[in-house]
Structure 1
Amino acid sequence: MSAGQVAALVAAGAFVLLVLLLAIPLIKLGRTLDEATIALRKAHENTDPLLHGANDTITHVNTQLERVDGITANAQAVSGNVSALSSVFTATLGGPLVKTAALSYGISKAVKARRNAKAVDSGKHSRRRKGFRR
């Protein structure tokens, strides 16, 4: 064997060793990719019922929201009617009612003032003269 053949034999052995060392990570990477493929397949199979359930839930929520919209519209109509009714009440009865309340307050104040004046007059006999006020 010549020196060139020995060098070629050593280079071939080194190449085989390099291929064996690189084959181990490539095999592990292949297994990892196989497991990832299986996981993705299972996830894809499980998402169909999940998406179907989510679609049913969204449909149910939309139905409930339509009911809430109807209730809100009715409540708005009721509040408008109450506002109109209070305006009518204020316009028809509010003015006279306020005037009546003011009149009754004034009368009660006048009656109390007159009673207080009579009580003061009856308490002081000698010092006050009729027709003289302070």
Structure 2
Amino acid sequence: MSAGQIAALIAAGAFVVLVLLLAIPLLKLGRTLDEATIAIRKAHESSDPILLGANETITHVNTQLERVDGITANAQAVTGNVSALSSVFTATLGGPLVKVAALSYGLSKAVRARRRKQEAKAAAPARRRKK
């Protein structure tokens, strides 16, 4: 064996060692990718029921929102009716009611003033007698 052949054998051995050293990480990487593929597949399979449940929930929520929208529209109509009724009441009875209240206040004030005058007149002769 010549020196070139020995060098070729050493180079071939080093190449085999290099291939073996690189094959081990590649095999481990292949297993890791297989496990990742299995995990993704399981996640996909388990996400279908979750998505179906979410879809049903959203449908139910939309139904409830439509009901709330109807209730809100009815409440708005009632508010408008109450506002119109109060306007009619104010226009019809508000003015006369205020006038009646003012008249009763004025009459009660006048009656009190007259009573005070009468009491003052009745008290005046009694004061003169005491002197």
Structure 1 SS opposite 2:94: helix
The whole-number CA distance in structure 2 between the counterparts of 1:117 and 1:5 is 149
The whole-number CA distance in structure 1 between the counterparts of 2:76 and 2:50 is 38
The equivalences for 1:115-126 within 5 A come to 115-119=115-119, 122=123, 125=127
Query: Per the alignment, do residues 112 and 8 of structure 1 end up closer, same or farther by CA in structure 2, a change over 3 Å counting?
Result: farther
In structure 2, what is the equivalent of residue 102 of structure 1?
A: 102
Residue deviations 1:6-61 (CA, integer Å, cap 9, x gap): 11111111111111111121111111111110011111111111111111111111
Please give the TM-score of this superposition, normalised by the length of structure 1.
0.82
**Relative CO higher for 1 or 2, CA cutoff 8 Å, sep ≥ 6?**
1
Query: Per the alignment, do residues 33 and 117 of structure 1 end up closer, same or farther by CA in structure 2, a change over 3 Å counting?
Result: farther
In structure 1, what is the equivalent of residue 86 of structure 2?
A: 86
In structure 1, what is the equivalent of residue 33 of structure 2?
A: 33
Please give the TM-score of this superposition, normalised by the length of structure 2.
0.84
In structure 1, what is the equivalent of residue 77 of structure 2?
A: 77
The whole-number CA distance in structure 2 between the counterparts of 1:118 and 1:106 is 18
The whole-number CA distance in structure 2 between the counterparts of 1:90 and 1:9 is 115
Structure 1: tracts of 5 or more residues without a match: 127-134
Q: What residue identity is the alignment partner of 1:91?
A: A
Q: Which is richer in helix? A: 2
The equivalences for 1:50-61 within 5 A come to 50-61=50-61
In structure 2, what is the equivalent of residue 43 of structure 1?
A: 43
Post-superposition offset of 1:110? 3.0
The whole-number CA distance in structure 2 between the counterparts of 1:61 and 1:19 is 61
In structure 2, what is the equivalent of residue 10 of structure 1?
A: 10
The whole-number CA distance in structure 2 between the counterparts of 1:13 and 1:21 is 12
State the superposition RMSD in angstroms: 2.0
Post-superposition offset of 1:116? 4.4
Post-superposition offset of 1:120? 5.4
The whole-number CA distance in structure 2 between the counterparts of 1:113 and 1:81 is 46
Query: Per the alignment, do residues 21 and 112 of structure 1 end up closer, same or farther by CA in structure 2, a change over 3 Å counting?
Result: farther
Q: What residue identity is the alignment partner of 2:2?
A: S
